[in-house]
Amino acid sequence: MFERLELLIGKESLEEIKNSKILIVGIGGVGGSVATSLVRSGVQNIVLIDFDIVDITNINRQVVAYHSTIGLKKVDVIKKILLDINPSLIVKTYDIFLNKDNIKTILDEEKPTYIIDACDSKETKKSIILEAISRKIKFISSMGTGNKMNPSDLEIIDIRKTVNDPLARIFRKWVKDNKIKSKITVLSSRELPIKTGNIVSSNSFVPTSAGLLITSYVIKDIINDDSKD
C-alpha cells in the first residue's frame, strides 16, 4: 500500500512513520485534512479528539462533511474514513471537549509522540501548548485559516514571527506575558484577513492546504528531514 512512498523516503523512514503515534485535536477543515493525509502517509496509530457533530455549514471545507453525515459525530465519521483508507490502522477516538481538566489524563493514557492542534478553542490550545512543552512532546498548533483566500500565504513558523493573523496575535501576547521561552511551532497565514462581519468565512482550499502543510512538516520531522524548514 505504501510502495510509492517507500520509494521516495526509504524503508527505514517509513518504519519511523509507522511507529509514531499522532494525536489530533479538532477534526474540522484543517484537522480532517491532516488526519486523512497522515494515514495516507503511513501513520498506523492515531488518536482523534473532537466533541462536535457534522453541520451543513461544514460541507464546503471538511472531509467529514456530506449530506449523508449531517448530524453524525465527527470522530465517528473520520474513523470510518480512515479505516477505509487503511483497515489495519489503530485508531482511538474521544468524543469530548479537550480542556485543562482532562488533558493530563488523556496524555498520560495515550502517550503520543506528536500532537497536532487543529481546534478552535483558545483555552484548549493553551493547555495543549503548556502540556506538550512540559512533557517534551513535539507539537504544532494551527492558527486561523478563516477569512483567507490565498493558500500560498500559509507558513509554518514560530509564533513570535507570525504576522497578519489575529489569533496568532493573541498567542504572541500570551507567550510574552507568561514568559514562555520554548519554541512554539504554528501554522499561520501572512494574508490580511478579509472582513466579512461577525461570521467567519471559509473555503475549501485554505484549510485543506493548511492541513497538508502540517502533515508535510510532521512527516518530515518524524523522519528527521532537515529540509522541513
Q: Is the pLDDT of residue 97 over 70?
A: yes
Q: Average pLDDT for residues 99-106, to the nearest whole number? A: 98
In a domain, 11, yes or no: no
In a domain, 40, yes or no: yes
CATH for 193: 3.40.50.720
In a domain, 87, yes or no: yes
In a domain, 38, yes or no: yes
pLDDT per residue as tens digits for the range 180-202? 999 999 999 999 999 998 999 99
In a domain, 97, yes or no: yes
In a domain, 10, yes or no: no
Q: Is the pLDDT of residue 225 over 80?
A: no
Provide the pLDDT for residue 227. Answer: 43
Q: Average pLDDT for residues 3-25, to the nearest whole number? A: 97
Domain range enclosing 67 = 21-223
In a domain, 144, yes or no: yes
Q: Is the pTM of this model over 0.85?
A: yes
State residue 157 phi and psi, 5-degree precision. -160, 160
| Nearest in space to 41 (alpha carbons), one of 13, 75, 74, 62 | 13
> What domain count does the chain have?
1
In a domain, 228, yes or no: no
| Nearest in space to 152 (alpha carbons), one of 212, 226, 194 | 212
